[in-house]
């Protein structure tokens, strides 16, 4: 088979019919590679979009609230002021406010007032005057109360109902 080149990018075959098949394969090969490359790129993009859609929309992560991740749209719920005895005989007068998350319902939390007040009395009753006066005493007490209150008010829709405990009044009297 003889091949003659007549211009840029063109070939002409002369001779047997096998040469015509070779010419057709040579010309179709670059086109099919381009088509294959385009199909692969489109498939990768569709997979990436599908993955992002599944992870961001369908499988929304459950919010975990904490000091560095405050919840949005929150309200506070105040417990009645309490005067109670500490472990060393000192007195503590305290008022506590709970920061509720978006999943909490303040009306339903009111039904747990006796349990919340009991946890407040029990937890504070283990502390002493000097321990509460320490630099981190109130912070540690608020963390202990948060843990106790979260144990009473179980998570709703995978998220805690109470995200923070605030002291709105705090008065200590030594024994």
Entry pTM: 0.59
- Hey, what are 3's tokens? 């091949």
Confidence band (pLDDT; 50, 70, 90) for 164? very high
Q: Give the helix ranges, DSSP H, for 54-112.
A: 106-109
Domain boundaries, the chain: 2-58, 75-173
pLDDT of residue 12: 53
pLDDT of residue 106: 77
CATH architecture of the domain with range 75-173:
2-Layer Sandwich (3.30)
> What stretch of H or E contains 105?
none
- Hey, what are 9's tokens? 């990018």
Are the beta carbons of 146 and 162 closer than 8 angstroms? yes
Question: If you compute the radius of gyration of the chain from its CA atoms, what whole number of angstroms results?
Answer: 36
Q: What share of the chain is helix, strand, coil (3-state, %, to 5)?
A: 45, 25, 25
Q: Is the pLDDT of residue 148 over 80?
A: yes
Are the beta carbons of 104 and 153 closer than 8 angstroms? yes
Q: Give the helix ranges, DSSP H, for the chain.
A: 17-53, 106-109, 113-124, 129-133, 137-152
100: closest CA among 79, 71, 121? 71
Q: What is the mean pLDDT of the chain?
A: 81
Question: Of residues 21 and 101, which shows the higher confidence score?
Answer: 101
Q: Is the pLDDT of residue 5 over 70?
A: no
163: closest CA among 78, 36, 76, 62? 76
């Amino acid at each position: 088979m003889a091949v003659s080149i007549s211009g840029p990018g063109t070939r002409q075959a002369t001779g047997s019919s096998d040469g015509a098949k070779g010419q057709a394969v040579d010309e179709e090969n670059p086109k099919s590679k381009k088509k294959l490359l385009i199909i692969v790129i489109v498939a990768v993009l569709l997979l990436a979009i599908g993955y992002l859609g599944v992870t961001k929309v369908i499988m929304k992560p459950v919010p975990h609230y904490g000091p560095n991740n405050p919840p949005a749209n929150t309200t506070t719920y105040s417990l009645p002021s309490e005067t109670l005895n500490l472990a060393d005989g000192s007195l503590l007068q305290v008022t506590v406010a709970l920061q509720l998350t978006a999943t909490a319902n303040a009306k339903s939390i009111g039904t747990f007032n006796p349990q919340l007040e009991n946890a407040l009395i029990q937890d504070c009753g283990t502390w002493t005057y000097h321990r509460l006066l320490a630099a981190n005493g109130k912070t540690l007490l608020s963390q202990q109360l948060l843990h106790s209150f979260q144990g009473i008010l179980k998570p709703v829709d995978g998220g805690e109902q109470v995200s923070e405990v605030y002291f709105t009044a705090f008065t200590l009297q030594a024994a």
